[in-house]
Amino acid sequence: MFQKWCIVIRIYVRGEFMKENNVYEIKENAITLFKGKDYSFLSNMYSYKVEFEYNGLTFNCVESAYQAQKDPSRADRFSRCKRPDMAKRMGSNLKNIRSDWEDVKEGIMRELVFIKFSQNERLKERLLNTGDVQFVEGNTWGDTYWGVCNGVGLNKLGEILMEVREILRNEKITKNKYIKEI
């Protein structure tokens, strides 16, 4: 008698188990690549005319500020970094990452993305002009925590971008309503 065996594999990604077959549902009109002149501004690597302050230091992109938080005692090195890819490489090579990193990294990313779009009116308007389209950090390098690769992933960055867009939209509605009432 022949028996079929079904093996369920749970993938462990940076501190959490992904759901079985963790296929991320991508809507038809979703923005799936944060590249090119239309959507590169959504990327954490975007540094064209972007500068913001975080924890007393000035950064030229979210990626540099995010990597700096892995070891705050060396954050100034990241703030001086002119290229986001170099900041990512430096962050990947850190030996002494803070012990609570897995617990705080998502909150730090959420805060940095909010700062990026709330402190820059041009970027805020571009984000708000995307309407209600779904953001999916599509990639080919296997990042299934912040993005989606081959249809699988948690898409944390995409979710954060949509959350920040909603917060900024509601903030704008509240301000406009307040101004009209005066």
Backbone angles phi, psi at 52, to 5 degrees: -150, 160
Q: Is the pLDDT of residue 38 over 50?
A: yes
Q: Band of the pLDDT at 15, cuts 50, 70, 90?
A: very low
The domain limits of the chain are 34-181
Per-residue model confidence (pLDDT) at position 181: 47
Cα 64–Cα 100–Cα 161 angle in degrees, nearest 5: 45
- The DSSP bridge partners found for residue 12 are 17
Per-residue model confidence (pLDDT) at position 53: 86
Per-residue model confidence (pLDDT) at position 102: 96
CATH superfamily entry for domain 34-181? YbiA-like (1.10.357.40)
Residue 15 φ/ψ region, left for φ over 0, alpha for ψ in the -120 to 50 degree band, beta for the rest:
left
Going by C-alpha positions, the residue among 10, 34, 4 that lies closest to residue 147 is 34
